[in-house]
Amino acid sequence: MMIKEVTIFPGYDKEGKKECFEKVEIYAGQKIGIVGQTGSGKSQLLYDIEKLTQGETKTKRKVMINGKKPLKELKTNPSKKIIGYLTQHMNFMTDTTVEDFLKTHIETRGRNHTEENTERLVEKIINDANTITGEQIKKNTNILILSGGQSRALMVADLAHVSESPVILIDEIENAGIRIKKALELLVKKGKIIFLVTHDPILALDTDKRFVMKNGAISKVIHTSVREKGIANYLSWINNYMLDVREDVREGKQVEELKLICSPMG
Amino acid sequence: MKIVIFGGTPGSGKTSIIKYVISELKDLKLHYVKFDVLSTEDDNLIKEKFDISTEKRISGDVCPDHYAALEIPKIIEKYTDKDVIIIETAGLCLRCSPYVEEGIAINILNILSGKPSSYGPLLTHADIVAVTKGDLISQAEREIFRAEVMKVNENASIIEANGLSGEGTIDIAEAIIKSPGIKDKLTLRHSMPTAVCGYCYGNKIIDSKETLKRYERGKDLKARLPNLNCGKCGFKSCNEFIRAVLDGKAKESQCPFLKKR
């Protein structure tokens, strides 16, 4: 299904006051940040979007797809689900290898994949995951022993290739152990809409706009400035540098040389 | 009147989910019953929090699902003025399900508690499967789990629920409101096991002769008792009375309905 537009109609904050906007429109290809203090209603907003709510959640918001009320099927049928959700926790419980896990997930999604196709897709997911994390994931690694960074990287690549949802929700994907901007690039393929709850400035300043949450409501919509995007680039550079040094330390190398940052806004 | 039966293993989050469901249904006249084996305080907590009528039923020596089947008609008779009777079962073994055809059956299923294929009628005979604790694992594995649930119960609506945030409970409440009311007799969705042996009658010694002796005496008493669980003997159930007689703690004459040999 092609998603051109997601529209959010206002609901009520924790004290029953109506949110002060008429509607918020988000178009295909946009990245939306959701920021705010703990308990300000960030996760609830993601939940409303995931539910494609029509006023039945506690905020009473309404979410329209392409300007229309979404069909119920979009919420209940997993193969028609238009929303992919990357949640905070990425633990696994099944005792299996990375390869078999991905194969099962591909099967679950129910698309007609030939065996050869599946093999290739699994390979691609693992390769992409390995560009996000410094700690290499192998096909035959047991998923239960993946590190936090590896799990996050694998689930980002899985979301990008297996789920293929046109709308993606990301709930505080932590920075630790992954190249976070690279991860996002993998997800933002042409035409996708991304909502991301984050405290991470690299991510928050790299969006098209960001919602500032307060007391359960969207209190402000900030359009990200060019300067902010530049700052995001700079911070991302630092983060990647940290990861490189981290890998060097892990591999037992001595770190003597300091990379200096030449053009911060470049 | 509608009857809602919640089933699920201990620790699956039944009570937390039910609390949210009750607050969603607050415009209706509700009665909440908690079945448990040894003890529970949930009935008092819910009464205090929501100011609705509640009660507990402790099964003791009887299988809690058997006990629930025996007690539910009595509860319905007593609370005819209510709109919805919410029953939370003890949720122990996976052999039975306490669900009735005429009411709505909701299984609260902890995503961390093993493969859906190893669950019996508790899962396969439910109208709604509310999967809890899904927030602890990856979305990919949640999708796989969902597909596995659909393999064993393709008719159920699967809801991702969370006892802490209340996620999914609106959908459960909505399904309860839409469910049909009960009219006549209730029927179990799945049969109960024939749980009658020397050990059922309270034998503790692992010895075939002793067990057989106990079984013969128990069977004889069982045949002569009304099996109404009326409580006139001072025990909650006929089975408990039989055990007490076999243990020498009660006399046969305590039962006003006992047939003479």
**Averaged pLDDT of chain A:** 87
Q: Which pLDDT score, from 0 to 100, does residue A190 have?
A: 64
pLDDT by residue (tens digit) across A78-110? 667 788 888 777 789 889 999 999 999 988 876
Q: Is B167 on the interface with A (CB under 8 A)?
A: yes
Share of chain A above pLDDT 70, in %: 92
- Is residue A263 over pLDDT 70? no
Comparing CB atoms, the residue among B135, B144, B170 nearest residue A57 is B170
Q: Which residues pair with A214 in a beta bridge?
A: A217
SS3 B219: helix
ipTM rounded to 2 decimals: 0.74
**In which band, very low, low, confident or very high, does the pLDDT at A266 lie, cut at 50, 70 and 90?**
very low
Mutation choice for A interface testing from B143, B158, B169 by most A CBs within 10 A: B143
B102: phi then psi, degrees, rounded to nearest 5: -80, -15
Contacts of B62 (CB under 8 A, 6+ apart): B236, B237, B239, B240
Residues on chain A touching B111 (C-beta within 8 angstroms): 93
Contact A104/B139, CB-based, under 8 Å? no
Domains parsed from chain A with CATH numbers: 1-82+165-233 (3.40.50.300), 95-163 (no CATH)
Tell me, which fold does domain B2-178 have in CATH?
Answer: Rossmann fold (3.40.50)
| Domain covering B208-254: architecture | Orthogonal Bundle (1.10)
Residue A140: the pLDDT is 95
CB B167 within 8 A of CB B161: yes
Q: Residue A32's closest CA among A205, A228, A239, A230?
A: A205
**Contact (CB, 8 A) for B176 and B84:** yes
State how far the alpha carbon of B31 is from the alpha carbons of B14, B55, B78, B139, B195, in Å.
16, 8, 11, 36, 30
Kindly report, as residue ranges, where domains of CATH 1.10.15 are found in chain B. 208-254
Q: How far is B106 from chain A, CA to nearest CA, in Å?
A: 17
Tell whether A11 lies on the interface with B, counting CB pairs under 8 A: no
- Distance, in Å, from the CA atom of A104 to the CA atom of A168, rounded to the nearest integer, reads 21
The sheet that has A5-9: what strands, in order across it? Answer: A24-27, A5-9, A62-65
Burial B97-110 (b: 16+ CB within 10 A, else e): bbbbebbbbbbbbb
State the pLDDT confidence band at A125, using cuts at 50, 70 and 90: very high
- Specify the pairing of strand A5-9 against strand A24-27: antiparallel
Residue A114 has pLDDT above 70, yes or no: yes
The backbone torsions φ and ψ at residue A58, rounded to the nearest 5 degrees and listed phi first, read: -70, -20
Distances from the Cα of A9 to the Cαs of A23, A31, A48, A106, A212, in angstroms? Answer: 5, 18, 11, 35, 16
CATH 3.40.50.300 domain residues, chain B: 2-178
For residue A181, pLDDT beyond 70: yes
Q: What is the mean pLDDT of each run of 10 residues along chain B (261 residues)?
A: 93 93 94 93 94 92 82 90 95 83 94 89 95 88 90 92 86 92 87 75 77 86 87 87 91 90 73
- Show which of residues 14-73 on chain A sit within 8 Å of chain B, judged by CB atoms: 43, 47, 56-58
A187-201, A244-258, B42-56, B174-188: the lowest-pLDDT one:
A187-201
Backbone angles phi, psi at A70, to 5 degrees: -70, 150
Residue A22 CA to residue A43 CA, distance in Å, equals 21
The type of residue at B99 is: Y
Mention every residue, 6+ apart, whose C-beta is less than 8 A from residue B216.
Answer: none
Contact A89 B135 (CB under 8 A): yes
